[in-house]
């Protein structure tokens, strides 16, 4: 085992004798545990947000990027001719693997959310939609537009970029914000642990003095405090993480109409990731207390 | 063991001690005396690395304190047992745990030293009080417990600051007896006291030398005490 790991193991195993040396302090313990729990709870949400928006951004850029739509608006009589012309153009365009005319039912399904189910679709001059799917090489959108305008003047190519770009960018930003939140939560935890460790060290100045006088090395004294604060942070973060995960699990499930809001949460193996929050909190507490203790000790003879 | 070479010490204001040259040889027995506020405690603190000299050199076990790291100071303190004027116990630990503290912080297993501890507490007459907390002990019991803690690491040097400060004469003699026994076992002893009767009582048993602080300097007192 590497030395760092074995040190962590030794810490969690505890040293009853050394733990007795630092007297227990009631109220501040509870505050440290509580803050650590609250921070872990928030971290679970920030993590859920980052991961959900990450998935969303991937899905949008993936699903939307691979398809495009050609919309044909033409007078009643020319509709079929132009549709055939467009299909013909598409079938000879390199990079387009498939082109499909949407049926009336599909078009109706697309419109239902906006106009309700009783729409008399037959009586409306609806444009015809053709969905095309790219192959892995992609096609030249500008070239296709030019050819379409020559062959079928009523056809407009919509390659979804217009929709996709701001959405993907927004999702990406949201994900970044999520990670920044996690970083801030970590730093706040470190600051909080440092403050409460400083308070504990100040309250135990006489004890530290006595330990120094009987020949204790700085690391021994620091360890007594570090062990205690790492333990508290671990405990608190474990409780906070479990509560956060339960809260996320109880969020309403994803449904097709709800879009991205209900997608907040973890998927599959994603549930393992929040379990790293308590050890991470312990790690932060370990270094924060150690730094605080060694800094304070330098000023005590 | 402990050497002071032209040492001075000042607390912000003027010099409290100046030009002090002193050598505590192995197995020697020294008293340090002088009026209150003369700097007895300060001189003792210089001898166990609790204070740094403002001039001159303090060498503990052939090592200059100025060049010692904090860890080296900690290690030196395990070789010098100190009985502090105010005992310096941890009030939330029992007497036995307080006496064991130097062993615990040195990373020794206290379970292995059970017998040692029992012998030591028997020697200072505190076997029955092993589980009492320090605030429950009388002045004399605290002083003897402090002495037990000072010797548990089997140090080479024992420094005691007014070990008989607030105990009656019988108890003073008992504590002195313990220190004399330690000296006969080969330990170097340095005791700060203003109790001249105690020094006389000691002189009857060991070849004790008396250092007196006067006008910021240390003088070797004559046999006229």
Shortest Cα distance from B24 to chain A (angstroms)? 21
* Residue from A24, A25, A215 to probe the interface with B (highest B Cβ count within 10 Å): A215
Task: Give the domain-ending residue among A110, A127, A153.
Answer: A153
From chain A, pick out residues whose CB is under 8 angstroms from the CB of B107. Answer: 220
pLDDT of amino acid A65: 66
HSE-up (13 A, CA, CB side) for residue B153: 28
In a domain, A262, yes or no: yes
CA torsion through residues A37, A39, A42, A46, sign: negative
Instruction: Give the closest of A21, A213, A218 to B70, CB-based.
Output: A218
Identify whether residues A38 and A91 lie together within a single domain: no
Answer whether residue A57 is part of any domain: yes
Out of A20, A207, A215, name the one closest to residue B78 (CB): A215
Q: What is the pLDDT of residue B223?
A: 54
Chain B residues closer than 8 Å to A208 by CB: none
The series of mean pLDDT values per 10 residues for chain B, 225 residues long, is 89 84 91 88 91 90 90 91 90 92 87 87 89 91 91 92 85 88 92 90 89 87 59
Structural domain spans, chain B: 1-79+159-225, 85-154
Contact B70 A20 (CB under 8 A): no
Q: Which residues contact B36 (CB under 8 A, 6 or more apart)?
A: B194
> Residue A257 has what pLDDT?
47
A159 part of a folded domain: no
Q: Which residues of A touch B88 (CB under 8 A)?
A: 209-210, 213
- B34: left (phi > 0), else alpha (psi -120 to 50), else beta? left
| ∠ CA B170-B172-B178, rounded to 5° | 105
pLDDT for res A253: 65
Residues of chain A with pLDDT under 70: 1-19, 26, 63-65, 119, 121, 162, 253-263, 301
CB < 8 Å to B106, chain A: 215
**Which helix or strand (DSSP H or E) is residue A121 part of?**
none
Closest Cβ–Cβ partner in B84, B89, B102 for A215:
B102
Task: Write the residue in B71, B88, B110 that is nearest to A17 by C-beta.
Answer: B110
| Residue B120, phi then psi, degrees to nearest 5 | -65, -45
Q: Tell me, what's the pLDDT at A252?
A: 74
A275 and A186 part of one domain: yes
C-beta atoms of A17 and B101 within 8 A:
no
Hey, CA dihedral for A117, A120, A124, A127, is it positive or negative? positive
* Cα B198 to Cα B193: distance, rounded to the nearest angstrom: 8
Same domain, A193 and A50: yes
Is A16 a member of any domain?
A: yes
**Cβ separation A217–B102 shorter than 8 A:** no
DSSP state of A25: -
Please indicate, yes or no, whether residues A173 and A269 belong to a single structural domain of this protein.
yes
Residue A161 located in a structural domain: no
Residues A276 and A179 placed together within one structural domain of the fold: yes
Q: How far is A131 from A161, CA to CA, in rounded Å?
A: 15
Number of folded domains in chain A?
A: 2
Cross-chain Cβ contact B71/A217 below 8 Å? yes
Strand segments (E) across chain A = 67-72, 96-101, 128-134, 155-158
The token pair at A222 is: 């620091």
Residue of B nearest to A18 (CA): B104
Last residue of a domain, one of A127, A153, A179: A153
> Which range marks the domain in which residue A148 is found?
74-153
**Which residues of chain B are within 8 Å of residue A212 when distances are taken between CB atoms?**
74, 77
The helix (H) or strand (E) run that includes residue B193 is: none
A207 and A282: one domain?
A: yes
CATH topology of domain B1-79+159-225: Rossmann fold (3.40.50)
Give the one of B92, B97, B106 whose C-beta lies nearest to A215's C-beta.
B106
Q: CB–CB of B18/B216 below 8 Å?
A: yes
- Residue A107 and residue A29 in one domain: no
Give the closest residue to B156 by CA, choosing from B204, B125, B190: B190
């Amino acid at each position: 085992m590497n030395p760092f790991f074995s040190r962590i193991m030794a810490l969690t195993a505890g040293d009853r004798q050394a733990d007795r040396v630092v007297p227990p302090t009631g109220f501040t313990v509870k505050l440290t545990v509580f803050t650590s729990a609250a921070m872990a709870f928030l971290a679970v949400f920030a993590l859920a947000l980052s991961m959900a928006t990450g998935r969303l951004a991937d899905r949008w850029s993936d699903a939307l990027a691979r398809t495009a739509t050609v919309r044909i608006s033409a007078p009643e009589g020319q509709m079929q001719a132009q549709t055939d012309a467009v299909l013909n153009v598409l079938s000879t365009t390199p990079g387009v693997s498939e082109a499909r005319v949407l049926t009336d039912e599909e078009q109706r399904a697309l419109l239902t959310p906006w106009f309700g189910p009783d729409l008399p679709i037959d009586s409306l001059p609806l444009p015809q939609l053709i969905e095309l799917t790219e192959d892995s090489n992609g096609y030249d959108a500008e070239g296709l537009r030019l050819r379409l305008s020559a062959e079928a003047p009523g056809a407009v190519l919509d390659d979804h970029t217009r929709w996709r770009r701001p959405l993907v960018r927004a999702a990406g930003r949201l994900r970044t914000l999520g990670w920044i939140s996690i970083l801030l939560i970590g730093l706040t935890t470190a600051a909080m642990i440092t403050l409460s460790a400083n308070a504990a060290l100040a309250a135990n100045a006489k004890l530290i003095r006595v330990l120094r006088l009987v020949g204790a090395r700085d690391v021994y004294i620091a360890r007594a405090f570090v062990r205690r604060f790492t333990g508290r942070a671990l405990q608190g973060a474990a409780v906070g993480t479990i509560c956060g995960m339960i809260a996320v699990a109880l969020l309403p499930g994803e449904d097709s109409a709800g879009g991205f809001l209900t997608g907040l949460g973890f998927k599959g193996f994603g549930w393992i990731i929040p379990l790293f929050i308590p050890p991470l909190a312990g790690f932060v507490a370990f270094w924060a207390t150690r730094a605080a203790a060694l800094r304070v000790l330098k000023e005590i003879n | 063991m402990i050497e002071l070479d032209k040492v001075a010490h000042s607390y912000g204001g003027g010099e409290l001690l100046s030009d002090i040259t002193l050598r505590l040889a192995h197995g020697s027995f020294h008293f340090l005396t002088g009026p209150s506020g003369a700097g007895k405690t300060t001189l003792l603190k210089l001898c166990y690395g609790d204070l740094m000299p403002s001039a001159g050199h303090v060498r503990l076990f052939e090592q200059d304190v100025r060049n010692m790291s904090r860890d080296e100071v900690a290690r030196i303190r395990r070789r010098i047992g100190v009985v502090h004027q105010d005992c310096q116990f941890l009030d939330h630990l029992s007497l036995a745990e307080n006496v064991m503290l130097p062993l615990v912080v040195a990373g020794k297993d206290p379970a292995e030293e059970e017998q040692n501890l029992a012998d030591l507490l028997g020697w200072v007459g505190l076997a029955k009080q092993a589980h009492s907390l320090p605030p429950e002990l009388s002045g004399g019991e605290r002083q003897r417990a402090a002495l037990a803690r000072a010797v548990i690491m089997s140090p080479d040097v024992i420094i005691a600051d007014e070990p008989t400060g607030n105990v009656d004469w019988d108890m003073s003699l008992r504590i002195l007896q313990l220190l004399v026994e330690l000296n006969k076992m080969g330990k170097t002893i340095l005791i700060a006291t203003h109790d001249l009767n105690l020094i006389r009582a000691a002189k009857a048993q060991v070849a004790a030398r008396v250092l007196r602080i006067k006008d910021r300097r240390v003088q070797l007192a004559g046999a006229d005490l």
